[in-house]
Structure 1
Amino acid sequence: MLRKTVALLSCLCSLSLSAAPVVLHNIHGYGFDEQRQLVKFQTLVFDNETGQVLARGDSTLRQQYAQATQWDGQGKTVLPGLIDGHGHVLGLGDYLNQADLRGISSEKQSAASVAAFAQSNPKQQWVMGRGWNQVLWDSKAFPSKTSLDEMVADRPVFLVRVDAHAAWVNSKALALAGITKDTIDPPGGEIIRDANGEPTGVLIDNAMGLVQSKIPAPTNEDKQAALDKAFAHLLALGITSVHDAGVSSELAALYQQLQQQQQLGVRIYPMLSAKDPQLADWFKKGIVNDSTDWLDIRSVKIYGDGALGSRGAALLSDYSDRAGQQGLLVTQPDALTEIMRLTIGAGFQANVHAIGDRANRLALDRFEQLSPLADLAKARHRIEHAQIVSPKDIPRFKALHVLPAMQAVHATSDMNMAGDRLGVARLRGAYAWRTFIDQGSIIVGGSDFPVELANPFHGLHASVTRQDQHNQPEGGWMPEQRLTLVEALRSFTVDAAYGAFQEDKMGHLQPGSWADFILVDRDIFNVPATELWQTTTLETWIHGKQRYKK
């Protein structure tokens, strides 16, 4: 399957203009300068062989390259290749091969959709799916194994919630995992139970592993097929690089193999999973610094807490809609200290998943305790999501040189339940993009696909409008936290590159940078902000080669 994708990419690359250099003119080009300020240009010159930008400027620049291949952009808009600063590539590929429950409005309809998928895929030993969200249902209640049992009883069913921090399973899956009334909740996890103490079929965070461990491991061929789908999907969306959050040693090794064979579909900045048993071996080998920036390995994804929708985000005080519950620490405090200490000591970037205000504070405390300030300034450690932060902790991000890696679409997805979970007071430090920008923090933008859709223009739209795609709520949700379009585009280009130590070569289209760029169907700086999410990618170029054409 992967070879088919490589063949397809080779065909697409053959559409590239073969001579070097290439002059792309008659365009509305946008990039950034050394100070991260927006720059407009009408002509872009790049070398098709080295994959680097040679020059950019106005229409007269063509005359300096009279012997080069000339390509008329026909007035189209050119942007730097978009970088997703937090996604899950293999998870996206798997998602594209599973039952899609995103946006379904009831438990009954979701179960029926799973049944239809199971009937269409009779050879699958496990029925897998993703995307359910009880917050969108009238009941607002977690689903039950009963509704799945009525639809699919002969095979185990495992359905991941939209945020990937909860699973909905049938009785067959519970039986295979040996989960009964007497099963003890694992640390950092919860088995949801009914009034009689019986498992209902919903597993939160670390409890998911009780069933996941029974699912047959995918083969390398399965992984390659999933990556094949994911690469093609990302290229069609204008994404040229992904910070892949939480990869196993096996996946990292597969990425290395594909990079050596020049078969990576997009640039990958993998964060090694802190849960990987071979992490110490990676620390011994040290940072992998790829001179072509196709695969730089120098970071670790560390797991702090769960997610807000499943009430797994670790809070400093009780959830407003469930007294006595303060969320879950997926990694206990002492263990969090140790893995952060090992990561920082090995010279790797520590990227801590923290959604709740307690998890964010725990991570900030440890950055402060474990590393001198001078070292923190160089290390570019990150907090992934930085979703709900105590207002007194927000300035600590800047003081400690910790980067918030935030996903704008989470705010517009969560706005229908965040107030219920947190109450009014805690919202002051939630999804606080403007507050971070105004204090001088650099935001690494992303989507967290497949938790959210991978389309980066959805993120740009959410950043600028704080609205959903129906222009709701009127005026935007917590509109004081909106970004300008320039700030939002930075977060998906040069600022995301900064979060991977790649800002010298990516995200801005300055001379000397990689020729990673996209052509889109509209000038995003000259359309209503409400239409940004509708932007379509026409062509995607990486390293001076065309990788996708609509």
Structure 2
Amino acid sequence: MVAGLILREARLVGSAGLVDVVVRDGRITSVLRADDEPPAVPTGLEEVRLDGRWLGAGLWDSHVHFTQWVTLQRRVDLSGTGSPEEALAVVAEALAARPADGRPLVGYGFRDGLWPHPPSLAALDAVAPDRPVVLVSGDLHCGWVNTKGAALLGITPDEFGLVRETEWIGADHRQLGGLPEVGEYRETALAAARRGVVGVVEFENADNLTDWPARVAAGVDALRVQAAVWPDRLDAAVAAGLRSGDPLDPEGLITFGRLKVVVDGSLNTRTALCHDPYPGLDPAHPHACGVQSVHPSQLRELLETAYRNGVEAAVHAIGDKANQQVVDEFERLGVAGTIEHAQLVGAADFERFGRLGLIASIQPEHAMDDRDVADRHWAGRTDRAFAFRSLHEAGAVLRLGSDAPVAPLDPWISIAAAVGRSRDGREPWHPEQRIPLSVALEASTRSRVAEGEPADLVVLDHDPTTLSAEKLRELPVAATLLGGRWTWNSL
């Protein structure tokens, strides 16, 4: 049995000199200059020559909905539709191609923030009068359903066929086909490893503390997972004596992460809670400025319960009013935490992120997906939208993620968006908010290539510090190590 590895002639990312890296029992035990007298290979160590390839810390995606990422391939792709009519045409084609077996047709990816007019319940019923149809928005914050789809999920759509926020998120989505097979989770985890990923932060609204250890036991072992708990499962976690960071499986791959609280909606659904109303809405409309899913007093109670019991928190806040409220509560309680998304931040609140030691868990590819939506619905405020550099310079700790399936589970895409602020040949959007590659890499890792660190490593054929943002998106990964074992190896 191999007790470890010695990786010969590696270049550390961003440097030119060659090193030899020794790995034992899942950790880096030494990093030696290769031009020194090369150490003999101890008994039981496998020697792997990297021949000058670049070696870096393995990558993390700090915000995923893993089950929904796994099931993406099962769903009808609506991401390219630019109107309700285009979406209906895709649905009609999918219905014609699939047997009428009574199972729901599920689509994913419509983004109606720029559609010329709202969708229609009647139109969706006309296309599918006899079969449940459930269409999930690209931001996961609303669904467009027909009458049979609404009955299946036990939800009540409005005249447009839309169900938003709390009612939508709390619906029993297992009715749409149940959980994927273990093999699907395994293949999806391995696909992430092929992009250099060693860990993810799981925010699926599910029993993550039970589901993920069971998956590891069944062979889904290519990733570390920090598993979040939602408010309805917080009391059970506290009663079990669990604290953030506690291992949940014998291998230590799964750890208890944070309490996830969603206090507002999203930009595309026009439910992110803002100080200013959305264009075209009467200021007297009850949701003219977005949706308050959790009131500050409720958030305070949840945070007090969590922190009193050793559970840290990650709070979803997208609009500037929501971010202000969440920062207020962290400041009031005197605790640090994570704000997920932090997409629109008030000018006075950047400084507080840094002063309070808050983590801004951001998804840079969302800025590329939503730049036109932001220009329309947050007009005059986009200088502080997706403001990565402002957050960094204020002292916030940045963590990069994808929010998969909202964006692909691929940290190189997130890194490219953070440093380039452009995609598809377009001019950079608010280029003043770009962050340096060194910052983006640090925000995408949890360890270093140094003695005593976990041997969670990525091997690259190219030095990412020399590549353009567009090249970073497609950067090949030669190999990935998780705790000293190969989860991907094309060497």
Q: TM-score, normalised by structure 2?
A: 0.90
SS for the counterpart of 2:425 is: coil
Aligned partner of 1:294 in structure 2 is: 253
Give the deviation of 1:109 after TM superposition: 3.4
In 2, the alpha carbon distance for the partners of 1:133 and 1:120 equals 24
In 1, the alpha carbon distance for the partners of 2:418 and 2:323 equals 22
**1:472 to 2:431 alignment:** no
In 2, the alpha carbon distance for the partners of 1:23 and 1:348 equals 38
SS for the counterpart of 2:160 is: strand
**1:454 to 2:409 alignment:** yes
Give the deviation of 1:161 after TM superposition: 0.6
Q: Is the 8 A contact 1:77 1:523 kept in 2?
A: yes
Aligned partner of 1:112 in structure 2 is: 89
Deviation string, structure 1 residues 41-99 (Cα, Å, up to 9, x no partner): 53342335x11112224323571234453322233332211100111111211223222
Q: Name the CA shift for 1:471/1:259 in 2 (closer, same or farther; >3 Å).
A: same
SS for the counterpart of 1:130 is: strand
1:149-228 matches, cutoff 5 A: 149-176=125-152, 191-192=157-158, 199-208=159-168, 212-213=171-172, 216=175, 222=180, 224-228=182-186
SS for the counterpart of 1:384 is: strand
1:382-461 matches, cutoff 5 A: 382-424=338-380, 426-461=381-416
In 1, the alpha carbon distance for the partners of 2:317 and 2:329 equals 13
Deviation string, structure 1 residues 193-221 (Cα, Å, up to 9, x no partner): xxxxxx221222123258x337527656x
Q: Name the CA shift for 1:406/1:155 in 2 (closer, same or farther; >3 Å).
A: same
Q: Is the 8 A contact 1:464 1:485 kept in 2?
A: yes
In 2, the alpha carbon distance for the partners of 1:412 and 1:113 equals 24
Q: Is the 8 A contact 2:141 2:169 kept in 1?
A: no
Q: Is the 8 A contact 2:104 2:176 kept in 1?
A: no
SS for the counterpart of 1:63 is: coil
Q: Is the 8 A contact 2:2 2:46 kept in 1?
A: yes
Aligned partner of 2:2 in structure 1 is: 19
SS for the counterpart of 2:35 is: helix
In 1, the alpha carbon distance for the partners of 2:364 and 2:173 equals 35
In 1, the alpha carbon distance for the partners of 2:2 and 2:151 equals 62
1:28-39 matches, cutoff 5 A: 28-30=11-13
Deviation string, structure 1 residues 194-253 (Cα, Å, up to 9, x no partner): xxxxx221222123258x337527656x3635523431332222211001124433x321
Q: Is the 8 A contact 1:321 1:420 kept in 2?
A: no
**1:351 to 2:314 alignment:** yes
Q: Name the CA shift for 1:216/1:397 in 2 (closer, same or farther; >3 Å).
A: same
In 2, the alpha carbon distance for the partners of 1:237 and 1:110 equals 31
Q: Is the 8 A contact 2:113 2:269 kept in 1?
A: no
In 2, the alpha carbon distance for the partners of 1:267 and 1:359 equals 31
Give the deviation of 1:107 after TM superposition: 3.1
Paired AA for residue 311 in structure 1: R
Candidates 180, 205, 209, aligned match of 1:252: 209
Candidates 271, 285, 288, aligned match of 2:228: 271
In 1, the alpha carbon distance for the partners of 2:114 and 2:190 equals 30
Candidates 131, 138, 141, aligned match of 2:109: 131
In 1, the alpha carbon distance for the partners of 2:174 and 2:404 equals 22
Candidates 470, 482, 489, aligned match of 2:441: 489
**1:508 to 2:442 alignment:** no
Aligned partner of 1:83 in structure 2 is: 60
In 2, the alpha carbon distance for the partners of 1:535 and 1:512 equals 28
**1:238 to 2:190 alignment:** no
**1:520 to 2:460 alignment:** yes
Give the deviation of 1:293 after TM superposition: 4.6
Give the deviation of 1:120 after TM superposition: 4.8
Candidates 258, 270, 273, aligned match of 1:311: 270
Aligned partner of 2:324 in structure 1 is: 361
- Which sections of structure 1, spanning at least 5 residues, go unmatched? 1-17, 31-37, 184-190, 193-198, 498-506
Q: Is the 8 A contact 1:355 1:387 kept in 2?
A: yes
Deviation string, structure 1 residues 108-137 (Cα, Å, up to 9, x no partner): 333333344445553572111211112465
Give the deviation of 1:363 after TM superposition: 0.9
Candidates 54, 59, 83, aligned match of 2:34: 59
Q: Is the 8 A contact 1:268 1:295 kept in 2?
A: yes
- Which sections of structure 2, spanning at least 5 residues, go unmatched? none
In 1, the alpha carbon distance for the partners of 2:462 and 2:123 equals 45
Q: TM-score, normalised by structure 1?
A: 0.81
Q: Is the 8 A contact 1:246 1:301 kept in 2?
A: no
In 2, the alpha carbon distance for the partners of 1:214 and 1:536 equals 35
Q: Is the 8 A contact 1:90 1:230 kept in 2?
A: no
Paired AA for residue 265 in structure 1: A
